[in-house]
Amino acid sequence: MDFILASIPRTCILFSALAMLGVSAPLHAQENYFVTYSHELEEPGNLEIAAKSVTGAPQDGNPFVATALEFEYGIKTWWTTELYLDGQNTAGESTVFTGFRVENRVRPLLREHWINPVLYFEFENINGADKALLEVVGHDTREDFLTRNDRSEKAREAEFKLILSSNFKGWNVSENIIAEKNLDNSPWEFGYAVGASRTLALAASAKPCKFCRENFALGAEMYGGLGERYSFGLADTSHYLGYVVTWNIPRGPTLRLSPNFGLNDNSHGFLFRFMLSYEIDQIFSKMRSNP
């Protein structure tokens, strides 16, 4: 527990600093999941800063906490770009920076449909010590986490996702199909993520409140690998089921928690994900008007 708590102050300092900078009227993160993406994009001009963390204690390995610091910016209503900086700390080993990711999400259809597609492109330059677990593909298993932190193995990967998402009656249902390729001529790896979530109240209450039901969303997501080009399927893959609780604090940050359970022997038995995010609206307009 001390190990997890040790990682929290840095996050708190970051968000306290944002609050002290006079960043007012924050909006809220669009996603209601950790791994699954929906078709909601960042509002143009807004910057969301989020610390997404995952902690686990693999059998026969050392407990770890990995954090991806995320900067998400809405370029257009139909185009969002993100930068992730990954790092992790493994008990008894070390704290290391493990790489970066740049991703873009583009919404090709400009209207709301029954199913809304989003195209996702990502380049990641990470090393073998990365434990952020932002997706599971190919034959990723818990055994990848048993070797000591080793940054010598580099992975420059391109990742593509087809995001399909629907909103109806307060529910969001999202499906992601993932294809990832290490650019050193390794075969394509595949994965999936699906999620469903709903706010606790469909109508808003008239009075201001932090604990109103409309500020909370509950959901679940399932994700895992689907093998690779030459061994497509469920053999030697890992899969997880996670429950997600999101609390959008009015005029404040968003807090999200998610216990995740491994669904087979290749998976970690238990992972706990937590996220704190803060959205700065119209950041460049503010910078221009307050030089």
Partner 1 sequence: MTSRNTRRFGPLLLILALAGILFAEPGEGEWLHKVPARDRGRTNPFASDSDAPAAGAKIFAEHCASCHGEDAEGKIQGKHVRPNLHADRIKTAKPGELFWLLTNGSLKNGMPSWSRLPEAQRWQLISYLKSLP
Which parts of this chain interact with partner 1 (CB under 8 A)?
A: 25, 27-28, 30, 38, 40-41, 43-46, 76-78, 106-112, 119, 167, 169-170, 172, 199, 202-208, 214, 250-251, 281-282, 284-285, 288
Q: Minimum distance from CB of 227 to partner 1 (Å)?
A: 24
Q: Minimum distance from CB of 256 to partner 1 (Å)?
A: 15
DSSP alpha helix (H) spans, the chain: 2-20, 283-289
Q: Which is nearer to partner 1, 10 or 113 (CB)?
A: 113
Phi-psi region of 203 (alpha: psi -120 to 50; beta: other; left: phi over 0): beta
Task: Give the whole-angstrom CA distance, residue 140 versus residue 93.
Answer: 22
Helix (H, G, I), strand (E, B) or coil at 282: coil
Q: Minimum distance from CB of 119 to partner 1 (Å)?
A: 7
Q: Which is nearer to partner 1, 2 or 112 (CB)?
A: 112
Q: Minimum distance from CB of 203 to partner 1 (Å)?
A: 4
Q: Minimum distance from CB of 46 to partner 1 (Å)?
A: 8
Phi, psi of 85 (to 5 degrees): -115, 120
Residue appearing with tokens 């997404």 = 52
Burial (CB count <10 Å: 0-12, 13-18, 19+), residue 72: buried
Q: Which is nearer to partner 1, 74 or 87 (CB)?
A: 74
Q: Which is nearer to partner 1, 257 or 283 (CB)?
A: 283
